[in-house]
Each structure stands twice: as C-alpha cells, then as structure tokens.
Amino acid sequence: MKKSALITGILGQDGPYLAKFLLEKGYKVYGLVRRYSNPNFDNLDYLGITGQVEYVEGDLTDESSLYNVIKNLRSEEIYNLAAQSFVGHSWEMAKLTTEVNALGVLYLLNSIKTFAPTTRFYQASTSEMFGLGHTNGYQDEGTPFHPRSPYGISKLYAYWMTVNFRESYNLFTSNGILFNHESPIRSLQFVTRKITDGVARIKAGLTKKLALGNLEARRDWGFAGDYVEGIYLMLQQEKPDDYVLGTGENHSVKEFVEAAFAAAGIAKWQDYIVIDPRFKRPAEVPSLKANPKKAKDKLGWEPKASFKELVKMMIEADLKRYGVS
C-alpha cells in the first residue's frame, strides 16, 4: 500500500516542492485547496506535477471543512504549509493572519486528535518567532522567542499548540522552524523574488527602477527545494520533535541586490534602486542566522545550494521568463 500525505498550502512555494519530493518517494499526495472560482496551479505546473496530486477542498478558517477532509483521508502524514505567510501584510491583516496561522492549526490538531490520532503532523513554524531573540548572533531550538510581527506571534501560538498536543495527547506532532527559503516560484511580494524579477525587468528594458525598503536587514536564505527533504525527515523519526532548518550564514538585502545585478551582468546597481518607506515595517527583525546543528546531527540534513547558487538560479529563471539572457 502506498503511503499517503495531505499537504495544506499546496499552491504556494513549498507545497509544490514537497509534493514533488513525496511523489518521487511513491506517496499518494493530496493537496488542500481553498474554494476558488479560479485556483492558480502555476507553481505546480512549473514543477510539472499538477496532474499527479489529488485535490481536496478545505479552508484553514473553517473547522468543519478540515474535520471532513481529515476524517475521510486518514492519511499517514499531514504537512501544514498553509498560512497568510507575508510578514509585511500581517500588521494590516492581523485578525486574518491569526485566524489562519494560529486558530487554523488548532482546528487541524483537534481534527487529528479526534479522527486520525496515528497521523503524523508537521507544522510550518518559522524563524520569525525568534525576532529579536538570539544566542551569540545565531538562533537554534533553545533560543528565546521575541516575535516582532502579528505573523510571528500567530506562528508562535501554532508552535506551542503543536508542542502541547504532543505533550498532552501523545500525538506525533513536530515543528520545523525554518529560516527563509526561496526559489524561482517564490511569490513576487517577498524581497528575493521581487529583486530577481525586478532585475530581469530592468534587463529586458521594461522598467528603470526597483523600489525597496530596508536594505540592511539580514536573512539566512536557502533554497526551498533543499528544505522539503528536512521537512520530510522530521516525520520519519522515531519520535516527534522540533528542528531548526537554515544554512548557518546570512546576508543583507543589499548583498542580495548586489549579487542579483551581478548575476544578470548589470553594473552599478545603485543606479536602479530607490528606497520607498512604504516597504519598511513598523517593527523589523534585523538579523536571522540559523544554527542548524540539531537537524544535521539527528536528521542528517544539510542544505545543498549556496547563496550564490540560489541567486543565480532565481535570476536565470526570471531572465528566461522575460525572454532575455
């Protein structure tokens, strides 16, 4: 019998990479999609797997829809990747962010406890929960949390609920605390893809400027395709636990800009960048840098793509989209 997995957030960035990974392992993959008149399958199309996933309808803000899906499927594994994941919007949409990212996880956990207690559950936790917290400039599983956005706070609730269901009901529930991971199918609102898309548009002669916010923020950027293996491995362990996934090095937004312009063969990036205060945040997370030692030691996981390779991969994909090279 094939193992089956349900992935929420199947239409986002990580959903398609994880689905592809699980399909290659022989899984039957179900993808939760919201009721849309016109769902967007572009990211699954990009990876060539749209027809290989079976889609089920449900919404993280609707508890009964999740009950039904979980009761009907009783899949061996559930990967909860669905979220209002854009930090920048979370101040204006704090209630929605909380309903999806925090309460949605409570609904999923309650459904698993009631209808599928042997199902293994993965929660997409985030380095945004650390916010200002660090241990000598790094963050690991023991670093204190100090979230700086409604997004980070909503994810912290979900993180602790995931821990609490493990401790209270003996369920197999694990958190992956993932640092920023990017790819050619990253949504355009996130800074990396906004930059690589913007640089490609400049190269194609479609625009002359790229407006950004805080260039000094530092992030630990890896490749999403590498991270889904770590996510999978967390659910294959003997016992549930929480793990940090990241590269262990960070770069500023400015360094990403420099690398992206250089990869596209454009000199003097300063001529094209304008600073627009609209893209700055009410409270910033200045620096995130993972210590992924536990994942390496216990899961045997390590990221493969370097920062330079990631930028190159994203720039090449965007240049191709605009028909330039």
Give me the residues that bind ligand NAP (CB under 6 A), please: 8-9, 11-15, 32, 34, 59-61, 81-85, 100, 124, 126, 178, 180-181, 187
> Which of the choices ligand F7E, ligand NAP, none does residue 20 contact, using the CB cut-off of 5 to 8 A by kind?
none
Q: Which of 151, 159, 227, 232 is catalytic?
A: 151
* Secondary structure (3-state) at 222: strand
Q: Distances in Å between the alpha carbon of 32 and those of 5, 56, 76, 159?
A: 11, 5, 15, 21
| φ/ψ bin of 126: left (φ > 0), alpha (ψ from -120 to 50), beta (otherwise) | beta
- Tell me the residue number closest to ligand F7E, measured at CB: 217
Of 14-22, 125-133, 291-299, 307-315, the segment contacting ligand F7E by CB under 6 A is 125-133
The two structure tokens encoding residue 12: 């986002």
> Which of the choices ligand F7E, ligand NAP, none does residue 253 contact, using the CB cut-off of 5 to 8 A by kind?
ligand F7E
- Tell me the residue number closest to ligand NAP, measured at CB: 12
Give catalytic status of residue 216 as yes or no.
Answer: no
> Which of the choices ligand NAP, ligand F7E, none does residue 295 contact, using the CB cut-off of 5 to 8 A by kind?
none
What one-character DSSP code corresponds to residue 9?
S
If one asks whether residue 281 binds ligand F7E (CB under 6 A), the answer comes out as yes
Check: CB of residue 176 under 8 Å from CB of residue 123: yes
Site size for ligand F7E (CB under 6 A): 22
- Answer positive or negative: Cα dihedral of 85, 91, 93, 96: positive
> Which of the choices ligand NAP, ligand F7E, none does residue 194 contact, using the CB cut-off of 5 to 8 A by kind?
ligand F7E
Check: CB of residue 235 under 8 Å from CB of residue 298: no
Pick from 20, 166, 219, 312: which binds ligand F7E (CB under 6 A)?
219
What is the helix, strand, coil percentage profile of the chain, to 5? 45, 20, 40
If one asks whether residue 194 binds ligand F7E (CB under 6 A), the answer comes out as yes
Of 96-104, 188-196, 200-208, 261-269, the segment contacting ligand F7E by CB under 6 A is 188-196
If one asks whether residue 84 binds ligand F7E (CB under 6 A), the answer comes out as no
Pick from 123, 127, 154, 291: which binds ligand F7E (CB under 6 A)?
127
**Residue number, 190 or 322, with CB nearest to ligand F7E:** 190
Of all helices (H) and strands (E), which one includes residue 313? helix 307-321
The number of CA neighbours under 13 Å toward the Cβ of 151 is 23
Number of neighbours of residue 137 by Cβ within 10 angstroms: 10
Give catalytic status of residue 107 as yes or no.
Answer: no
Of 2-10, 63-71, 187-195, 296-304, the segment contacting ligand F7E by CB under 6 A is 187-195
The two structure tokens encoding residue 16: 């398609």
**Residue number, 4 or 139, with CB nearest to ligand F7E:** 139
| φ/ψ bin of 217: left (φ > 0), alpha (ψ from -120 to 50), beta (otherwise) | beta
Give catalytic status of residue 76 as yes or no.
Answer: no
Check: CB of residue 176 under 8 Å from CB of residue 129: no
- Answer positive or negative: Cα dihedral of 232, 237, 239, 241: negative
Of 96-104, 211-219, 263-271, 295-303, the segment contacting ligand F7E by CB under 6 A is 211-219
User: Catalytic residue positions?
Assistant: 126, 128, 151
